[in-house]
Amino acid sequence: MFGRSVPLEAGKTVEAVTLPPLGSVVGYNAALHIFAMAIG
């Protein structure tokens, strides 16, 4: 498991969240599992 925190600028509103690309995948089905995401 990996966690990531990103500081937000006070008074700003989150408009979008961009997930990282999976890159080139050969021979299997890549998967990016997001178990939880929170803002606040």
Instruction: Kindly report the number of other CB atoms within 10 A of residue 19's CB atom.
Output: 8
Q: What is the pLDDT, as a whole number, of residue 27? A: 63
Given a cut of 80, whether residue 1 has pLDDT beyond it is no
Domain ranges in the chain are 1-40
In this prediction the pTM is 0.46
Round to whole Å and give the CA distance between 11 and 25.
Answer: 40
| pLDDT tens-place string over residues 2-31 | 777 888 888 988 899 888 777 666 667 777
Does the pLDDT at position 36 exceed 80?
yes
Cβ proximity of 14 and 6 under 8 Å: no
